[in-house]
Amino acid sequence: MNKIEHIGIAVKDLEAANKTYEALLGVAPYKSETVESESVTTSFFHCGESKIELLEALNEESAIAKSIAKRGEGIHHIAFSVDNIEEEIQRLSKQGFVVLNERPKKGADNKWVAFLHPKSANGVLVELCQEIE
């Protein structure tokens, strides 16, 4: 694991949250992107070497909608950047972590992503991500 690539925050209203985080971080979001496969719209902010990802659900089926219904808004996942996501999936599976998608999938911000079940990591949904070359 190289570093915390970003922290994902579930929000109800992306436009309002963009304004809040722009005021907080002192920078505007550098990109906004809809990921149909995940039923989310995201926006990304730079914060030093890390990023903040805001996620708004596109519909009620979205994992983000379900998370907000259960726990309200707030931190949804922590993403770690890795050099070789396939190797990391293998390594972590062998150690007993529950990988939610054994095959990396295309996530936001030009990344291959895989998620570990929160029960594997003390209640934290962990995202592994690798830049798509």
8 binds Zn ion (CB under 5 A): yes
Q: How far is CA 71 from CA 11, 30, 43, 117, in A?
A: 11, 28, 21, 16
List binders of Zn ion among 38-57 (CB under 5 A). 53
Which residue of the chain is nearest Zn ion when measured via CB? 8
Q: Which residues contact 72 (CB under 8 A, 6 or more apart)?
A: none
Q: Which of 11, 17, 52, 79 binds Zn ion (CB under 5 A)?
A: 79
- Say which residue the tokens 């998620």 belong to: 115
Minimal distance, residue 100 CB to Zn ion, in Å: 13
Minimal distance, residue 42 CB to Zn ion, in Å: 8
Comparing CB distances to Zn ion, the nearer of 44 and 97 is 44
Task: Note whether 129 and 111 are within 8 A (CB).
Answer: yes
Comparing CB distances to Zn ion, the nearer of 56 and 127 is 127
104 binds Zn ion (CB under 5 A): no
Q: Which amino acid is present at 85?
A: I
99 binds Zn ion (CB under 5 A): no
Task: Note whether 89 and 114 are within 8 A (CB).
Answer: yes
Positions touching Zn ion (CB under 5 A) are 8, 53, 79, 127
